[in-house]
Amino acid sequence: MMEKSRIALAFALSLTVMLVWQYFFAPPLPPPGDQSVASVASPPPPAENTPPGELPSAFSAMPPSDEPARDITVETRLWRATFSSQGGVLTRFVIKSLPNGRALRASDGKSELELLTTTSRRGDAGTPTTELGAAFELILAENLALTQYLNKSRYQVAGPTDDVLTVADGETATLTFTLVGEPGYRVVKRYVIRGGRYDFDFAADVTKDEAALPVSFRVGPNFGDQMFADYDGYTHTPPQAVTVVGGNASFLSFTSIDATPPGASKPTYLAKPNTAWCALTDHYFAFTAIPPSPGVVQLSRRDAVTRFQGREVKREYAFLDVPTTNGAANVIYIGPKDRTYLASVSKLLKTERGLDVDLRELNDYGWLAFFVRPLIPGLDWLLRFFYAQTQNYGWAIVLLTFVVNMLLFPLRWKTAVSFRKAAVHAPRHKELAERLKRLQEQKVKMDDPRMLELQREQIQLMKESLPIMGCLPMLLQLPIFVAIYVYLQLSVDLRQAPFIGWLTDLSMPDPWHVLPVVLCVTQIGQSYLMPQPPGPEDPALAMQRKIIVWVMPIVFAALFFWSAPSGLVVYWMAGNMIGITQQLIINRMLPPVPTAQASDAAKSAADGPVAGEKGKNKKKFDPRPA
């Protein structure tokens, strides 16, 4: 998200540069580094060198259930999951649709959207994968042998009568896995499924001789759209680990976690104490665990190498070991990071369980969140409202952009008036500069009455016509532009949403690159119509303006918009077109700048346009401001 925020800020600042480039030309600030946690030694994950199905020697005499391994498929309207009786774990999770019923597919547009597996991501066809483990494996501190035994044994299944458990909307079903081993161990893992919802309950009860044992359960490791793709700054962003402490969410990249060396039995973990709840997220979806009470969540990482497009690519996979209370329910949410739906789930959990959580924290707005977050609810409401009218998110983005630009029109008018006022006083500025130059050539001292009088005139003129005041209204628009950019980039509604013709997915780049080209042309047109700096013709300024008008739009289109999601390009392109129309109207409404051939005329211009002279020496209309 840091990379996305930098891109968003670059876009916003570029708009300001093109309007008031002679005053603002600063690059965006780099984001601060993440130094929020420290590495500590913690219990290791299950050993990697034990073949599947075999038990550690310490527990080889403890017979598991006599039943063969069995897969149970749980089917709801929103998702499908596969649970295995070997370990009583979740081995596969497929999300079928959004809350509004719109079907979801993988990023290739064809395959089902698989969010969770037990192996590393698949690359090129025929490339082998690495076994990583399953979700809801049990971890017992400092007892590696017992941990492996519990996760490799075959449990008895209670609940479904066959291998498919269908849960309709409004229904509730329970899936229970039980393991009774010697000497005196008993394990019960219980999943409570609710139809029509992405959240369900998980509880684990581990005892020895009826005494409870401290236990953690595993979240992850391989979560997200399983279609392999290169990471970028738009919709294929690297996954993150999220921990919430005291109501504040921390987003941690997987590369910030020390990797477990191959074959190691005692890796170094990353501890996050007092964590209320945690999650693994990709760009659009989240795997969230809410334990009954805060505790120390342990983060670890494994790396796996695969081949993608003929080259070797290393990917990082994170494990979250979440401490829980024996027999107590942990709320699990595996679904989209749709902020409206997350708000409703949070409200439901507070009503049903008394849990004070805000799942909207799963959306990472980056280091610009402090002014982006307050604007998101309004933008979300507008986009959904326009979609309800058009049933097309592309046109909804266009209408949203139109409304926002109309609301900002008074600020654009204020900016234009400020620049026009500065242009009116330009001859006076030139006269004072020439007088100052003559006095300096005469080596007049700074305390000379003539020099003091000239300085007073300059200060007074700057107060009346300083064009930087016109930048203030434009600065007020920056949070809105950045908020729209971030919101559209994170919106799961745009994922695989069609627009027109060849644009079948607003979250993917334009395959024919028509939109970036049109955007570049409109950006040049808007830059051409922007108010010109006041003052005499200066070759350096003229060259700089040519760069702003002709070069920068091409550079930005090539660097940022060529591979940007279509939805973002539609927003920016529509904003350019509306901005061109508004600027033409503003240029028509503003009075022409009086010409001044002598210092007397310049002085009169400093006092404002003379009444009754409007319309004299009228020239043919030029769309650019004078």
> What are the DSSP calls for 23-85, one per residue?
T--PPPPPPPP-----EEE----S-TTSPTT---GGGTTS---SSPP-EEEEE-SSEEEEEET
Q: Strand, coil or helix: what is 261?
A: coil
Read off the pLDDT of each residue in 159-176 and give the average, rounded to a whole number.
93
Read off the pLDDT of each residue in 181-204 and give the average, rounded to a whole number.
94
Read off the pLDDT of each residue in 322-345 and give the average, rounded to a whole number.
96
Give the pLDDT confidence score for residue 171 in this predicted structure: 96
Read off the pLDDT of each residue in 50-70 and give the average, rounded to a whole number.
53
* Alpha-carbon Rg for the chain in angstroms: 32
Give the pLDDT confidence score for residue 66 in this predicted structure: 55
Highest mean pLDDT among 174-178, 263-267, 412-416: 174-178
pLDDT digits (tens, 9 = 90+) for 236-286: 899 999 999 998 999 999 999 999 988 887 667 999 999 999 999 999 999
Position with higher pLDDT, 68 vs 81: 81
Q: Which of 414, 618, 617 is nearest to 531 (CA)?
A: 414
pLDDT digits (tens, 9 = 90+) for 113-151: 999 999 998 888 888 889 999 999 999 877 888 999 999
Give the pLDDT confidence score for residue 474 in this predicted structure: 65
pLDDT tier for residue 317 given thresholds of 50, 70 and 90: very high
Dist. CA 419–CA 413, nearest whole Å: 10
Position with higher pLDDT, 368 vs 601: 368
Q: Which of 366, 358, 332 is nearest to 116 (CA)?
A: 332
Read off the pLDDT of each residue in 357-369 and give the average, rounded to a whole number.
91
pLDDT of 16 above 60 = no
Q: What single-letter DSSP state applies at residue 139?
A: E
Read off the pLDDT of each residue in 478-506 and give the average, rounded to a whole number.
92
Read off the pLDDT of each residue in 193-207 and give the average, rounded to a whole number.
97
CB 461 within 8 Å of CB 432:
yes
Which residues, 6+ apart, have CB-to-CB distance to 503 below 8 Å? 394, 510, 515, 566
Position with higher pLDDT, 557 vs 430: 557
CB 112 within 8 Å of CB 94:
yes
Percent over 70 (pLDDT), the chain:
80
Read off the pLDDT of each residue in 165-191 and give the average, rounded to a whole number.
94
| pTM value surpassing 0.95 | no
Q: Quick one: angle between helices 514-529 and 566-589, nearest 10?
A: 20
Lowest mean pLDDT among 211-215, 245-249, 275-279, 599-603: 599-603
Position with higher pLDDT, 105 vs 235: 105
Read off the pLDDT of each residue in 413-440 and give the average, rounded to a whole number.
79
Tally DSSP H helices, then E strands, for the chain: 15, 22
pLDDT of 612 above 50 = no
pLDDT of 383 above 90 = yes
Position with higher pLDDT, 466 vs 309: 309
Tell the burial category of 81 from Cβ atoms under 10 Å away from its Cβ (0-12, 13-18, 19+). buried
CB 240 within 8 Å of CB 337:
no
Domains and CATH numbers, the chain: 2-30+377-427+467-598 (no CATH), 39-361 (2.70.98.90)
pLDDT of 310 above 60 = yes
pLDDT tier for residue 540 given thresholds of 50, 70 and 90: confident
Q: Strand, coil or helix: what is 446?
A: coil
pLDDT of 369 above 70 = yes
- Average of per-residue pLDDT values in the chain: 82
pLDDT of 602 above 60 = no
pLDDT of 341 above 60 = yes
Ramachandran quadrant class, 391 (left: phi over 0; alpha: psi -120 to 50; beta: rest): left
Give the pLDDT confidence score for residue 470 in this predicted structure: 54
Read off the pLDDT of each residue in 362-388 and give the average, rounded to a whole number.
92
DSSP codes, 177-242: EEEEETTTEEEEEEEEEETT-SEEEEEEEEEETTEE--EEEEE-SEES--B-----SSSSPPPEEE
pLDDT tier for residue 61 given thresholds of 50, 70 and 90: very low
Read off the pLDDT of each residue in 532-546 and give the average, rounded to a whole number.
68
Give the pLDDT confidence score for residue 267 in this predicted structure: 66
Give the pLDDT confidence score for residue 527 in this predicted structure: 85
Give the pLDDT confidence score for residue 472 in this predicted structure: 61
pLDDT of 475 above 80 = no
Q: Strand, coil or helix: what is 471?
A: helix
pLDDT of 13 above 70 = no
Give the pLDDT confidence score for residue 248 in this predicted structure: 92
Find the Cα–Cα–Cα–Cα dihedral 55, 60, 66, 67, rounded to 10°: 0
Structure tokens at 105: 């597919």
pLDDT of 195 above 50 = yes
